[in-house]
Amino acid sequence: AHYNEGFADGYKWKLRYFEIWDLPELECGFVGDETEFFSLYAIASARIKARFPKIKVGGYGSLGFRGLNHIDSPEAYKNAADYAARFLSYQKAHGGVLDFFTWYCNAESPEEIVLHARYARSTLDGAGFKRAASHIVGFNVEAAERGAYHGYAADLFASLVTAQRSG
């Protein structure tokens, strides 16, 4: 209401998407345990969608799936895919609204971004969210020497194109 209807000296921006949270699986991301976050998301998403049915509601800014194919990843990355699966299961069981699912991807190649995009899509489908869009909200192709690496922009563009085509 504040951003779309001017409530409390707000705005009339006509926002079409509302993302709930960002990186809750990190220690600094959400104060509380995962069940509290899952519950907060389920309640908030259902109420937002009921009040503003045209707005796409989603989240949660997942850390992503790097831990699935990089065994040297930090512990948070290793646990992120399981966290996402538990989140999706909880939302399905408790009426959470998920018009879109957002996630980050730090990869070593455009092909790796495609691998993660396909994993996200299959995970959403498997959890019963076949209509939910999969949004990469932050991505990067790691370059050893970015200042001297002239193919970096091309790799980023290729990543976007191939991820888009992967579903």
Rounded-to-integer distance, Cα 104 and Cα 66, Å? 9
pLDDT tens, residue by residue, 26-45: 888 888 899 999 999 999 99
pLDDT tens, residue by residue, 45-69: 999 999 999 999 999 999 999 999 9
The confidence score (pLDDT) of residue 128 equals: 98
The confidence score (pLDDT) of residue 31 equals: 87
Q: Taking the complete model, does pTM exceed 0.75, yes or no?
A: yes
The band of 166, judged by pLDDT with boundaries at 50, 70 and 90, is low
Other beta carbons within 10 Å of 116: 26
Average pLDDT over residues 1-9: 94
